[in-house]
Structure 1
Amino acid sequence: MKLYTNCQSCKKDIVIKSSAQTRPDLQMEKGEELTVNCLNCGKVEKKHVNDIKAKSNSFILLLGLVIGTIMTSILWFFYGAIASIVFAIPLVFWQQQMKATKSFNSYMIRRK
């Protein structure tokens, strides 16, 4: 899951470096207001935690696809067609990413 916000002046995405899985975790880690710097236009802005959004990380999904393909090819040699069940690995990665993204974006912090 990648965390990002939009710059008000140039409308480009600003990536937030954090390992927080929920908005309260992000609030505890970074505070209620974050100071972000746009790498495109150089503007420094303060953003509330509710202004941060999440989207799924395509690298994790690609990693799940590669692992599933490798495991299927190895297991196919030993077990035959039953090894095609391992193709469920990318689906598990995708489902986890979508669930984490939805839970982050749906929960909001009360503004003071």
Structure 2
Amino acid sequence: MLLSYYCSTCKKKNYLKYKVKDRFELQNKIGDELNKHCDSCGTLKKKHINRLHAEPNRYIGLIALAIASILTLTVWYYRFIATLAFTIPIWIYFDAYKTASDFNKIKVARKN
């Protein structure tokens, strides 16, 4: 899962390198706000963690497809197992998509 936010100055997307499952775990790691320099324009802006957006990693589906192709070719003799092995990347991609969707649905209460 990739975490990203848009810079308010240059409107470019910036990515973060945090491995978290939800916003509460991210809040425990970095606090309520994120101080980060924009990768393209270099301005320092504070972003509340509710302004971060999660998206599924693009490479997980490709890796799962490669593994499923190898498994399918290996067990081609058993036809129904080969068909099941090919559904593995679909399941992995939907799991990654659901994890990112769950992250985006849950927000942290703002403190005044």
TM norm. shorter chain > 0.5: yes
TM alignment of 1:61-76, pairs within 5 A: 61-76=61-76
Q: Which amino acid aligns with 2:103?
A: F
Checking the alignment, whether the CA contact within 8 Å between 1:14 and 1:37 is kept in structure 2 is no
Q: How does the TM-score come out when normalised to structure 2?
A: 0.94
**Deviation, structure 1 residue 36:** 1.1
Structure 2 stretches lacking a partner, 5+ long:
none
| Secondary structure at the counterpart of residue 14 of structure 1 | strand
TM alignment of 1:51-66, pairs within 5 A: 51-66=51-66
Which structure: greater helix fraction?
1
Q: Which amino acid aligns with 2:101?
A: K
Aligned length, in residue pairs: 110
Partner of 2:46: 46
Output the CA distance in 2 between the equivalents of 1:61 and 1:35. 31
Output the CA distance in 2 between the equivalents of 1:93 and 1:33. 31
Output the CA distance in 1 between the equivalents of 2:84 and 2:55. 28
Partner of 2:97: 98
TM alignment of 1:32-43, pairs within 5 A: 32-43=32-43
Structure 1 stretches lacking a partner, 5+ long:
none
Q: Which amino acid aligns with 2:107?
A: M
Output the CA distance in 2 between the equivalents of 1:89 and 1:37. 39
Q: How does the TM-score come out when normalised to structure 1?
A: 0.94
Output the CA distance in 1 between the equivalents of 2:91 and 2:36. 33
Q: Which amino acid aligns with 1:85?
A: L
Question: Once the two structures are aligned, what percentage of the paired residues are identical?
Answer: 35
